[in-house]
């Protein structure tokens, strides 16, 4: 990006007695637009991780949930380890759920025994085998149903978003409201939230909550 900026600056022509005008070249109107800025950035090579984030923004969930998911993928949630690294004085940096390891994004959402239990309940619910990935980005990327369309996999990715959101809410309940750690409760809330999001956000998702709980794969497979 710096090289590209220098190239534009060095090629600029300075003309005397002509008023300067700010023009955004990313859009033919000359006016800056967020969408055009995103399109410009998307043209640059960002590596395989960029495709993960591009897919992530298309999930049928509410904006605040997608924002949470984005921060989880970047590893920028305000976990105890993150806060301590930024100079916040804490009594402990140990995970609020398992009380055994340092609370990082990697640990809280993937490695904590309670998080592992929630993921296990999810895979048992959908009826598939899943190899646990070592990092969050790979975990999200591999959270994929083969022989399913992109549209159907967006529903499945929505479940991933629901789990991370519910884990974070449950963690906050434990920290701030003396909540009791319960993986079953987290998973049940995941089922409710993911179904509600799809009912409100996805076109032609007309399945009852009972259908969603009892036959999730059928609901996803028949979603067009």
Tally Cβ neighbours within 10 Å of residue 144. Answer: 14
Same structural domain, 169 and 114: yes
Q: Cβ-count burial of 28 within 10 angstroms (0-12 exposed, 13-18 middle, 19+ buried)?
A: exposed
Domain count, the chain: 2
Return the higher-pLDDT residue of 15 and 199: 199
pTM over 0.85: no
Of residues 141 and 6, which shows the higher confidence score? 141
Average pLDDT, the chain: 87
Residue 191: which pLDDT band, with cuts at 50, 70 and 90? very high
Which pLDDT score, from 0 to 100, does residue 45 have?
47
147 & 93 share domain: yes
Question: Which residues lie below 8 Å from residue 183, measured CB to CB, with a gap of 6+?
Answer: 114, 117, 118, 121
Residues 14 and 101 in one domain: no
pLDDT value at residue 50: 56
166 and 181, same domain (yes or no): yes
Q: pLDDT tens digit string along 181-190?
A: 999 999 999 9
Q: How far apart are CA 36 and CA 54, in angstroms?
A: 15
Q: Are both 12 and 86 inside the same structural domain?
A: no
Residues 117 and 26 in one domain: no
The encoded tokens of residue 126 equal 């959908």
Under 8 Å between Cβ of 174 and 97: yes
Same domain? 111 vs 11: no
Q: Based on the fold, state whether residues 78 and 168 are members of the same structural domain.
A: yes
Q: Are residues 126 and 164 in the same domain?
A: yes
Based on the fold, state whether residues 135 and 160 are members of the same structural domain.
yes
Residues spanned by the domain of 28: 2-42
Residue 178 binned pLDDT confidence (cut-offs 50, 70, 90): very high
Q: What average pLDDT does range 196-206 have in this prediction?
A: 84
**Token pair recorded at residue 51:** 């495709």
Residue 73: its pLDDT value, please?
A: 92
Predicted pLDDT of residue 124: 95
Mark whether 58 and 162 lie in a shared domain: yes
- Are 157 and 163 in contact by the 8 Å Cβ rule? The answer is no
Helices (H), 43-135: 48-56, 63-74, 80-85, 105-106, 113-126
> How is residue 133 written in tokens?
């990935």
Assess whether 21 and 63 both reside in one domain: no
Residue 4: predicted pLDDT: 67
Q: Does residue 98 surpass a pLDDT of 90?
A: yes
User: Residues 95, 102: contact at Cβ < 8 Å?
Assistant: yes
pLDDT exceeds 80 at position 172: yes
| Residue 83 binned pLDDT confidence (cut-offs 50, 70, 90) | very high
Closest of 153, 155, 162 to residue 191, by C-alpha: 162
Residue 153 pLDDT > 70, yes or no?
yes
pLDDT tens for 11-55 read 666 677 777 777 887 788 888 887 777 676 666 545 555 567 777
């Amino acid at each position: 990006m710096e090289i590209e900026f220098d190239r534009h600056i060095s090629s600029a022509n300075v003309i005397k007695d002509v008023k300067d005008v700010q023009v955004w070249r990313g859009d033919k109107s000359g006016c800056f637009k967020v969408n055009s800025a995103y399109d410009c950035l998307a043209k640059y090579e960002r590596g395989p991780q960029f495709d993960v984030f591009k897919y992530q923004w298309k999930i049928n969930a509410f904006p605040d949930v997608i924002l949470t998911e984005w921060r989880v993928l970047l590893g920028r949630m305000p976990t105890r380890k993150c806060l301590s690294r930024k100079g916040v004085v804490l009594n402990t940096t140990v995970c609020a759920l398992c009380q055994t390891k340092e609370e990082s994004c990697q640990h809280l959402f993937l490695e904590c025994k309670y998080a592992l239990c929630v993921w296990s309940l999810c895979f048992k619910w959908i009826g598939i085998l899943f190899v646990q990935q070592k990092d969050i980005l790979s975990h999200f990327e591999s959270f994929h149903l083969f022989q399913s369309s992109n549209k159907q996999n967006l529903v499945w990715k929505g479940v991933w978003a629901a789990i991370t959101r519910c884990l974070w809410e449950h963690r906050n309940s434990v920290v701030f409201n003396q909540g009791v750690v319960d993986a079953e409760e987290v998973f049940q809330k995941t089922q409710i939230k993911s179904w509600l999001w799809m009912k409100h956000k996805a076109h032609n998702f007309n399945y009852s909550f009972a259908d969603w709980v009892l036959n999730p794969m059928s609901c996803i497979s028949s979603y067009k």
